[in-house]
Every structure is written in structure tokens, then in C-alpha cells.
């Protein structure tokens, strides 16, 4: 049976190759480049026009580079077989390590089974050498102790220091001893008292503790009624308040002369009283506008 031959004849009997069949093997580099260009042109012409919608299509140089790609794996292996093997083994270990970690995270960890506890051995103690303690005195309720202390005729100092009671806080009715009270030795740069707002208690600040009674203070007439409430609330006598007030406005002028903003820390550094009380004075004066520049310009 005779079959139809579709493949080109490698060695024709007549010795003449058909004209429409190209050579199977390229003889030189120029023919290889022509074949490469022909293959690239045919591929670029055959690809659909709408195939690359989201990205730009490859250029001719990209196809040429792909055709000339040559793997160097065998070359690198031949240069250093032992080093290549060690590198591949290390990569394999790293892959297994990461895979094991990911697999262990998926495991459910159950609580370990409880071990049966060993029976406790009974310890026989020698009770003959135990020291017998005297019987405890009956407990007395706190209410009974308080009633007993109140009914006793002992002096107050003795009852206050009794170990069975808690000393009650003594209400301080006079101001603590302050050394910074010489306000007459300081320059008075404070704003006039009539500049205070007409609303009552305009200098009020929050402070814990009972206010002082300044009704009998010898310098009470030098303070505005709102200043009396402020000094009494901060537990400052009138002389200490006036001294701290003058120190604050002296420091206010010093800051204005150098162009520095007057803050709470400046008031705290200027006064010789508790820093929290100095901060309250700064807050009260700032709220009524006494720290404005217009009140200090006249003294500069």
C-alpha cells in the first residue's frame, strides 16, 4: 500500500530539494537572525488585538530576549558541585522548617492528662514537746472600745495616743507659719482692685481643705473681698498672699521685658509657697485678665 508523504524529504532521490521547503539546519548566524525575526513577526501578527487589555503588550525586544534565554544551571553546578549541593540542601531545610511551623500552628493543643497524685504520708508529730499557749482574751468590739474611751475621764492627750484608737484630725483654725510675709519690701506691680469683675467670688479656685478664718487678720483690709476668699480657700494668711501676689507680678514684668510668655512655671518659681498654690494664683489672675499686657506696660 502506498501512503501519502506529508513531511519534507530529507534526502530526495533526484538530488534536488523542493523549492518551497526551507533548510532544516541553519548554516550561519545571519540565517538564524532572519528565522528569529520571521518567528517573532508571525507571532506578533497572529496574537489577538484585544488580548492585552489591562497591560501593555510585550515589545519585539522582549520576544528576542526570551528566544535567546539560556539556563546557566549546569554551568554553575559544574563550577562548584559541592557548594551547589550544600546550597540546595539548605534551601530544602528552610522549606521544611517553614512548612513544619505552619503545620504546627494548625494543630489543636489539648491539655496534658493529669497524673494521679501519690498518697500522702502521714507525719506523726511529737505533741509532748509543744508549748501550751495561754488562753486568748475575748475580743472586744470596736463600738464598745469607742464608748469606753468617750466615757473615760483621762486627759485628751492620753486618749489620743492610746494604741486602741485612731487619732482624729485636728482642724487647723490658724494659718501655718510662713516666712515669706514681708510684702512691704517688694514693689507692688499688681493691677488696681477696681479692675476685678463685678460678679462675686470672681477669683474662686478649687482647693481641698477647710478655708481659713481671716476675719481677724491684721492685713485683711488690704485685700479685695474676692481676694480674701481666694487666700482663705488656699489657706494663706493675708501677708503671705500679698507677698506671693507681688512676686508674681514682678516676675510678670521680667518675662515681658525679655519677650517671654508668662506661664504657670514662672509663677511657681517666683513664689516661695507650695507650687500647687502658686499655680492656683496664676489660674485665678489669668481668668480675670490680670495677666494681660495692658496692666504691666505702665510699669515697664
pLDDT tens track for 85-140: 999 999 999 999 888 876 666 655 666 666 666 666 665 565 555 666 667 766 65
pLDDT band at 199 (very low <50, low <70, confident <90, very high): confident
pLDDT tens track for 165-187: 555 545 444 444 457 899 999 99
Q: What is the pLDDT of residue 161?
A: 46
pLDDT > 90: what percent of the chain?
Answer: 39
CA–CA separation, 163 vs 145, rounded Å? 11
Q: Are 246 and 210 in contact (CB under 8 A)?
A: no
CA–CA separation, 10 vs 8, rounded Å? 6
Which of 197, 206, 292, 194 is CA-nearest to residue 249?
292
Average pLDDT in the chain: 77
Q: What region, left, alpha or beta, does residue 138 occupy, with left being phi > 0 and alpha being psi -120 to 50 degrees?
A: beta
CA–CA separation, 260 vs 270, rounded Å? 15
C-alpha cell at 213: 478664718
Helix boundaries (H) for the chain: 29-46, 60-67, 73-79, 81-105, 142-151, 156-160, 225-233, 238-257, 264-270, 275-287
Could you tell me the end-to-end alpha-carbon distance of the chain, in angstroms, rounded to an integer? 129
Query: Element (H or E) spanning 209, and its range?
Result: none
- Assess whether pLDDT exceeds 90 at residue 281: yes
- What is each CA distance from 260 to 172, 208, 249, 251, 296, in whole angstroms? 40, 32, 14, 11, 13
pLDDT tens track for 230-266: 999 999 999 999 999 999 999 999 999 999 999 999 9
DSSP result, 29-56: HHHHHHHHHHHHHHHHHHS-TTS-SSSP
Average pLDDT over residues 39-61: 81
Amino acid at each position: 500500500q502506498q501512503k501519502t508523504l506529508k513531511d519534507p524529504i530529507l534526502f530526495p532521490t533526484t538530488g534536488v530539494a523542493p523549492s518551497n521547503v526551507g533548510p532544516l539546519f541553519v548554516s550561519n548566524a545571519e540565517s538564524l537572525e532572519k528565522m528569529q525575526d520571521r518567528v517573532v513577526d508571525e507571532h506578533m501578527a497572529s496574537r489577538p488585538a484585544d488580548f492585552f487589555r489591562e497591560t501593555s503588550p510585550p515589545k519585539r525586544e522582549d520576544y528576542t530576549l526570551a528566544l535567546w534565554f539560556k539556563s546557566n544551571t549546569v554551568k554553575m553546578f559544574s563550577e562548584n558541585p559541592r557548594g551547589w549541593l550544600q546550597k540546595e540542601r539548605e534551601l530544602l531545610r528552610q522549606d521544611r522548617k517553614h512548612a513544619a511551623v505552619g503545620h504546627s500552628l494548625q494543630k489543636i493543643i489539648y491539655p496534658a492528662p493529669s497524673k494521679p497524685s501519690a498518697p500522702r504520708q502521714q507525719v506523726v508529730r511529737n505533741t509532748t514537746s509543744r508549748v501550751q499557749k495561754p488562753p486568748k482574751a475575748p475580743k472586744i468590739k470596736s463600738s464598745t472600745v469607742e464608748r469606753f474611751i468617750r466615757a473615760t475621764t483621762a486627759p485628751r492627750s492620753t486618749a489620743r495616743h492610746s494604741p486602741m484608737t485612731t487619732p482624729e484630725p485636728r482642724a487647723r483654725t490658724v494659718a501655718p507659719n510662713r516666712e515669706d510675709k514681708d510684702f512691704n519690701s517688694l514693689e507692688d506691680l499688681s493691677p488696681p482692685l477696681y479692675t476685678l469683675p463685678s460678679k462675686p467670688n470672681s477669683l474662686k479656685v478649687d482647693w481641698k481643705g477647710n478655708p481659713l478664718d481671716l476675719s481677724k487678720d491684721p492685713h485683711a483690709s488690704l485685700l479685695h473681698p474676692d481676694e480674701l476668699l481666694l487666700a482663705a480657700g488656699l489657706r494663706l494668711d493675708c501677708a503671705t498672699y500679698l507677698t506671693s501676689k507681688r512676686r508674681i507680678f514682678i516676675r510678670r514684668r521680667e518675662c515681658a521685658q525679655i519677650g517671654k510668655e508668662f506661664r504657670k512655671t514662672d509663677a511657681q518659681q517666683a513664689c516661695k509657697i507650695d507650687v500647687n498654690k502658686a499655680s492656683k494664683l496664676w489660674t485665678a489672675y489669668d481668668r480675670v485678665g490680670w495677666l494681660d499686657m495692658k496692666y504691666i506696660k505702665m510699669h515697664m
